[in-house]
């Protein structure tokens, strides 16, 4: 991360030079440049390689993208990967084995794929609904029913007994938020969370949802202090999860 293209170019040149000194080599094919709307996309040359300028890229298993809809593509990608995991086990889910075994298989093999990395998302009702629609479609496939059968979602869930993805995602985020708040080792997670820009202001209109907005709604502006008290944080977590699982 850099404040200008000049700084970024120098940082990359320094990294390349130090890497070579200890016998390492930067993988230029995997090194990409991405900037926000305030900087014109400009390629940077490191050594003899021109680094590619991209709008998004996959890093540590997640699609990284700048902008107001920075989680939309990752949500769609999670859904695709979830269906891929479901498809590999379709013979299990559509077989005549007991439903309790199908439920356990879904919770352990499909749900983690769909929920991977979601603790870093700025959650919105739209994102939760998208994931829930996908999960319900998988549950119907598991039971061998379709939308034409007009079976209520509550009845489908009663039969499958799988963990609600909204419950899984919100619980993961609450747990991660508490973990970050209690850290005292000065890692990037805490620093980035408390960072505030020196200049600039939020654009006109409805502002994008911030990662902390739903946390503040439940635990207040001093939520990081509240997280230090583990029993209190656990109690607040139940209310936090409830606000997302109550969404239709």
pLDDT at 108 exceeding the cut of 90: yes
178: pLDDT strictly greater than 90: yes
Please, which pLDDT band fits residue 42 given cuts at 50, 70 and 90?
Answer: confident
Phi-psi region of 200 (alpha: psi -120 to 50; beta: other; left: phi over 0): left
> Which neighbouring-strand residues pair with 49?
46
pTM (2 decimals)? 0.83
Q: Is 131 exposed, middle or buried (0-12, 13-18, 19+ CB in 10 A)?
A: buried
Q: Is the pLDDT of residue 202 over 70?
A: no
Residue ranges per domain, the chain? 5-54, 68-164
Q: What pLDDT is recorded for position 184?
A: 83
**Dihedral angle at the C-alpha atoms of 186, 190, 191, 194, nearest 10 degrees?**
-140
What's the pLDDT at 75? 93
pLDDT band at 164 (very low <50, low <70, confident <90, very high): very high
67-89 pLDDT, tens digit each:
666 678 899 999 999 999 999 99
- The answer to whether residue 196 scores a pLDDT higher than 90 is no
């Amino acid at each position: 991360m850099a404040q200008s293209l000049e700084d970024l170019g120098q940082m990359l040149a320094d990294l390349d030079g130090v890497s070579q000194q200890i016998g390492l080599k930067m993988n230029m094919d995997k090194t990409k440049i991405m900037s926000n709307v305030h900087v014109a996309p400009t390629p940077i040359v490191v050594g003899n390689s021109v680094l590619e300028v991209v709008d998004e890229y996959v890093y540590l298993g997640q699609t990284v993208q700048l902008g107001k809809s920075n989680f939309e593509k990752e949500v769609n990608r999670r859904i695709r990967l979830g269906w891929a995991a479901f498809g590999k086990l379709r013979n299990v889910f559509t077989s005549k084995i007991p439903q309790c075994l199908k439920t356990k298989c879904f919770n352990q093999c499909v749900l983690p794929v769909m929920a991977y990395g979601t603790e870093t998302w700025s959650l919105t009702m739209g994102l939760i609904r998208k994931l829930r629609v996908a999960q319900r479609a998988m549950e119907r496939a598991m039971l061998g029913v379709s939308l034409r059968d007009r079976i209520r979602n509550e009845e489908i869930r009663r039969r499958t007994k799988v963990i609600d993805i909204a419950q899984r995602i919100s619980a993961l985020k609450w747990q991660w938020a508490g973990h970050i708040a209690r850290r005292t080792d000065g890692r990037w997670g805490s620093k980035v969370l408390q960072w505030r820009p020196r200049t600039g202001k939020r654009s006109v209109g409805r502002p994008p949802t911030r990662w902390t907005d739903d946390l503040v709604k439940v635990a207040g502006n001093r939520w990081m202090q509240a997280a230090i008290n583990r029993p209190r944080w656990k109690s607040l977590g139940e209310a936090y999860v409830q606000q997302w699982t109550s969404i239709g």
